[in-house]
Amino acid sequence: MLGWALAFLVIAIIAGVLGFGGIAGAASSIAQILFFVFLIAMVIGLVIGWGRRAR
């Protein structure tokens, strides 16, 4: 999932440099959403890991 976020980030940067505003905005939004989903999944994984280690 992090790979997808990075791919959309690269697409957004390239499209922004080339002047494609709509495509850059859409790709940037998708990259931002995927980043936050990945961040939430990482936090959940850490909490579950700490819970299992405490036992």
- pTM of the prediction? 0.61
Q: How far is CA 21 from CA 6, 9, 24, 38, in A?
A: 19, 14, 5, 25
d(CA 24, CA 26): 6
- DSSP H helices, 1-55, are 2-18, 21-54
Q: Quick one: pLDDT at residue 52?
A: 86
pLDDT band per the 50, 70, 90 thresholds, residue 6: confident
Q: What is the DSSP letter of 10?
A: H
Q: Quick one: pLDDT at residue 1?
A: 60
Structure tokens at 49: 């890991």
Q: Which residue has the higher pLDDT, 39 or 16?
A: 39
